[in-house]
Amino acid sequence: MNSPGDSIDDIISLLNKHYHPITQQNQRHKPSIGSAMLPQIKQQINVLYAIPNTYNNNQDKYKRKAVSLNRQQQQKPQIKDTSSFLIPMTRCLTFKPYSGSTDIIINDVGYYYKFGSSPIKLVKGLLEENGFKESNDKNWTLYWSSCAIKSDVYTNLFAYQKVCHFPKSYEMTRKDLMHRNISKMQINNGFINFNFIPKTYILPAEMSYFLEEHEKIKNNNPIYICKPHASSQGKGIFITDKIQDILNKQNSNNSYVVSHYIDKPLLINNLKFDLRIYVAISCINPLRIYVYQDGLARFATEAYNSDNVKQNRFVHLTNYSVNKDSPNFVANQDPTLDYVGSKWSLLALREYLKLNKINEQQIFERIEDLIIKTIISVESAIFQACEMNVPFRSNCFSLFGFDVLVDSFLKPWLLEVNFSPSLNIDAPLDLKIKGEMLADLFTLIGIVPLDQRFSQDLSYVRNQSNYDSKKHQQEFEKYIIKETEEELKRSRGWKRLYPSDQSYRYTKYFESDRPLNALLRNYYK
């Protein structure tokens, strides 16, 4: 496969040699690529068959349509022409959003999913409407879990199987570890480059440092927000300007993350709000990061006032799980009116900012920057865990919920990263945004149809040392580029943040400049 004239026999030979190398972790026999696979390999790269649980409607049908506001989706980056790379690629399934129906008739066509935790209605409904059936056997294609995945699930994966978390993702989603990792980046790369988290202390480990720092600024009456290090949905959070309140909590042997409170937030209708930004990592080697172009803006339900920090939680906390119990909470009943109520769509918020002459483009460019830097802060830990436990580059993907607060100076602050962002569909707006986001995510990650499961022969590309000649290395690099471009074609509502023509700006922040990241950085520059 040196040039666009090599024989199909050369391709078959290469795929057989490098598909499913035997390791100590994975001793199962894998089928070779024989004459039965020739028709699939000869197929054109971009051909899509009409198979169960796919649809051929124009993807624009599933983009949000604003009824009340005239807004434009951001244009996607131009996809480069890789047609000269005669690299065999697999087809991938496309998914339609969940309709919300509870009456789904499932025909068993060979596609299965499995939950590693309690079933989630949106995931279950979307997969079943697209022809998947739940299974407790090992023949599943997609594994979804709201909690961490056990190592034995990773080590026994086939190339076509997908799991919804990378190992060690908690390095970014546990509040104490996220702050520790970003603080390390501040030390190594300059505070100004990672100045997007409030000054934070991890207690009890940093209690002495916290008390020492508080003593320096106590005359300024600092306000602190305190969160249990591994909680979610606003549980256990309190705000105080009294150091004794924190000490009393610490005496109860609870571990807390204590941050300086951002007391000058940007307000809309005199209400505090934060943003739920959906972020996906589709691959760790090479690193590919996406942000969804819609999301949620979540509002507090009582007018903001920083004078008395011990007012009720409905003033200072924006969590939906907290504010839904407020007597002032306004539910959104019409997804086309996505600027009404205590929860807006992200696109409606951006339109509101534009109409009010607020530089929303600058805000979201800064948000995209902090997303990339936050993921880079844990890239090394996730990469090494995948090298040790995951047999194929294509096995894992992750969906994260980045919670961001914008202050009155239009600076975004990262509050936390959610390991398993809520996929509850309590309101029509939730169903619309989360349903489209999840359908686009499953399309993005490249789930292969049944007839191509064992033609993913170059998906095992972690160990480049297997490529024992310059020719094979060149074809391997072409495959990576083609794979990355094909994924971009499936991105629909997902915007790729990394790699891009700006990748070079982030090279210095990586612990290691990995060859595949360098390959794509040079390709896109």
**Cα angle: 459, vertex 463, 466; to 5 degrees:** 95
Q: What is the mean pLDDT of residues 98-108?
A: 89
Q: Which of 308-317, 368-377, 511-520 has the lowest mean pLDDT?
A: 308-317
Nearest to 225 by CA among 181, 263, 268, 170: 263
Residue 491 pLDDT greater than 50, yes or no: yes
Instruction: Kindly give, in sequence order, each residue whose CB lies less than 8 Å from that of residue 140, ignoring residues fewer than 6 positions away.
Output: 112, 113, 114, 161
* Residue 444: pLDDT band with limits 50, 70, 90: very high
pLDDT confidence of residue 48: 32
pLDDT confidence of residue 72: 41
* pLDDT tens-digit readout, 56-74: 333 343 333 333 333 444 4
pLDDT confidence of residue 96: 97
Q: Which amino acid type is present at position 488?
A: L
Q: What is the mean pLDDT of residues 95-108?
A: 91
pLDDT confidence of residue 177: 94
* Residue 17: pLDDT band with limits 50, 70, 90: very low
pTM value is 0.84
| The two structure tokens encoding residue 59 | 């993807």
Which residues, in sequence order, are bridge partners of residue 496? 290
Q: Which residues of 342-358 are buried (b: 16+ CB within 10 A; e: fewer)?
A: bbbbbbbbbbbbeeeeb
Tell me the chain's radius of gyration from C-alpha atoms.
Answer: 24
Crossing angle (nearest 10°) for helices 428-444 and 121-129: 60
Q: What is the mean pLDDT of residues 292-321?
A: 87
Q: What is the mean pLDDT of residues 416-431?
A: 95
pLDDT confidence of residue 305: 84
CB atoms within 10 A of CB 250: 17
Q: What is the mean pLDDT of residues 218-235?
A: 81
Give me the residue label for tokens 């959003």.
Answer: 97
**What does the mean pLDDT of the chain come to?**
83
pLDDT confidence of residue 469: 59
pLDDT confidence of residue 41: 37
Q: Which of 214-223, 353-362, 369-378 has the lowest mean pLDDT?
A: 214-223
Nearest to 203 by CA among 265, 252, 241: 252
Can you tell me the distance from the alpha carbon of 33 to that of 44, in angstroms, rounded to the nearest whole number?
A: 18
Q: Which of 84-93, 118-127, 189-198 has the lowest mean pLDDT?
A: 84-93
- Distance between first and last Cα of the chain: 26
Can you tell me the distance from the alpha carbon of 94 to that of 516, in angstroms, rounded to the nearest whole number?
A: 27
What is the dihedral sign for C-alpha 148, 154, 160, 166? Answer: positive
Residue 365 pLDDT greater than 50, yes or no: yes
Q: Which of 159-163, 350-354, 451-455 has the lowest mean pLDDT?
A: 451-455
pLDDT confidence of residue 268: 97
Nearest to 16 by CA among 33, 31, 30: 33
Q: Which of 47-61, 166-180, 332-346 has the lowest mean pLDDT?
A: 47-61
Give me the residue label for tokens 């720092």.
Answer: 213
Helices (H) and strands (E) in the chain, counts: 15, 16
Residue 262 pLDDT greater than 50, yes or no: yes
Report how far apart, in Å, the C-alpha atoms of 501 and of each of 73, 262, 498, 505, 520 are: 20, 33, 9, 9, 9
pLDDT confidence of residue 460: 44
User: Are 157 and 390 in contact, with CB atoms under 8 Å apart?
Assistant: yes
| The two structure tokens encoding residue 66 | 């604003």
Residue 294 pLDDT greater than 60, yes or no: yes
* Residue 107: pLDDT band with limits 50, 70, 90: confident
* Residue 522: pLDDT band with limits 50, 70, 90: very high
- Residue with more model confidence, 242 or 16: 242
C-alpha 88: how far from chain center: 28
CB atoms within 10 A of CB 2: 11
**Cα angle: 225, vertex 227, 232; to 5 degrees:** 130
- Residue with more model confidence, 352 or 465: 352
User: Are 279 and 421 in contact, with CB atoms under 8 Å apart?
Assistant: no
User: Are 378 and 171 in contact, with CB atoms under 8 Å apart?
Assistant: yes
Nearest to 390 by CA among 91, 174, 169, 119: 169
* Residue 474: pLDDT band with limits 50, 70, 90: confident
pLDDT confidence of residue 458: 47
pLDDT confidence of residue 309: 64
Nearest to 402 by CA among 182, 185, 212, 201: 182
pLDDT confidence of residue 105: 86
* Residue 84: pLDDT band with limits 50, 70, 90: low
| The two structure tokens encoding residue 271 | 């209400």
